[in-house]
A and B are shown apart, each in its own frame.
Chain A
Amino acid sequence: MSETITFTIDGVKVQGAGGQTILQAAQDAGVYIPRLCAKEELSPFGSCRVCTVLVDGRPQTACTYPIAEDMIVESDSEQVAAIRRDIIDMLFVEGNHYCMFCETSGDCELQALAYRFGITAPKFPYMFPKREIDMSHPEIFIDRDRCILCARCVRASRDLDEKAVFQFVGRGPDKRIAVNAESRLVDTNIDVTDEAISICPVGALIRKKGSYAVPYGQRKYDHEPIGSDIEKARKAE
Chain B
Amino acid sequence: MSKPKIATTSMCGCFGCHMSILDIDERILDLVELVEFDKSPITDLKEFTGRCAVGLIEGSCANDENVRTLQKFRENCDVLVAVGGCAITGDIPAMRNNIPLQECFNEAYLDGPTVYNPDKLIPSDPEIPLILDRIYPCDEVVKIDYFLPGCPPSADAIWAALTALLTGQPLELSYEMIKYD
What residues of chain A have their CB less than 8 Å away from a CB belonging to chain B? 96-102, 105-106, 111, 114-116, 118-121, 125-126, 128-130, 216, 222-225
Known: A121-B147, A128-B98. A223 touches B176 (CB 8 A): yes
Beyond the given pairs A100-B181, A120-B146, A128-B97, 13 more chain A to chain B contacts, judged by CB atoms under 8 angstroms and listed by A's residue number, are A97-B180, A100-B92, A100-B151, A102-B181, A116-B175, A118-B178, A120-B88, A120-B147, A121-B88, A126-B90, A126-B137, A129-B98, A216-B181
Picked from A101, A106, A120, the residue with its CB within 8 Å of the CB of B173 is A120
Which residue, of A97, A121, A223, has the highest number of chain B Cβ atoms within 10 A? Answer: A121
- A114 contacts across to B, CB distance below 8 A: 178, 180
B134 touches A128 (CB 8 A): yes
Residue of chain A at shortest CB distance from B134 = A128
Min Cβ gap A93→B in Å is 9
A161 to B97, CA, bound (A): 37
With a cutoff of 8 Å between Cβ atoms, the chain A residues found around residue B94 in the complex are 96, 126, 128
With both chains docked as a complex, state the minimum distance between the C-beta of B22 and any C-beta of chain A, in angstroms.
19
Which chain B residues lie closer than 8 Å to A106 at the CB level? 181
Q: In whole angstroms, how far apart are the Cα atoms of A125 and B180 in the complex?
A: 17
Does B89 make an interface contact (CB < 8 A)? yes
Is B111 positioned at the interface, with any CB of A under 8 Å from its CB?
no
Chain A residues whose CB sits within 8 angstroms of the CB of B137 once the complex forms: 125-126
Partner of A118, one of B85, B139, B148, B173: B173
Task: Say yes or no for B140: interface residue by CB 8 A criterion.
Answer: yes
**What class of interface size applies to chain B in its complex with A?**
20 to 34
Q: What would 21 A/B residue contacts be, using CB atoms closer than 8 Å?
A: A96-B95, A96-B98, A97-B180, A98-B91, A99-B85, A99-B180, A100-B85, A102-B181, A106-B181, A115-B178, A118-B173, A120-B147, A120-B173, A121-B82, A126-B89, A126-B94, A128-B94, A128-B97, A130-B98, A216-B181, A224-B175
Indicate if B59 sits at the interface (CB-CB under 8 A). no
When distances are taken between beta carbons in the complex, the residues of chain B under 8 Å from A119 are: 178
Smallest CB-CB separation from A130: which chain B residue?
A: B98
What are the residues of chain A within 8 A of B95 when measuring CB–CB? Answer: 96, 98
- Docked pose: A111 CA to B85 CA in angstroms: 14
Chain B 136-153 near chain A by CB (<8 Å), digits 1 or 0: 010110000011110100
Asked if A125 and B173 make an inter-chain contact with CB atoms under 8 angstroms apart, the answer reads: no
For A128, list chain B residues within 8 Å (CB). Answer: 90, 94, 97-98, 134
CB distance from B147 to the nearest CB of A (A): 4
B149 touches A120 (CB 8 A): yes
B140, A98: Cβ atoms closer than 8 Å: no
B154 CB, nearest partner CB in chain A, Å = 10
Q: Which of A100, A115, A119 has its CB near the most chain B CB atoms (within 10 A)?
A: A100
| Assembly CA distance A216 to B180 (angstroms) | 12
Instruction: Give chain B residues whose Cβ lies under 8 Å from the Cβ of A115.
Output: 175, 178-179
Determine the chain B residues whose CB is within 8 A of the CB of A100 once the complex forms. 85, 91-92, 151, 180-181
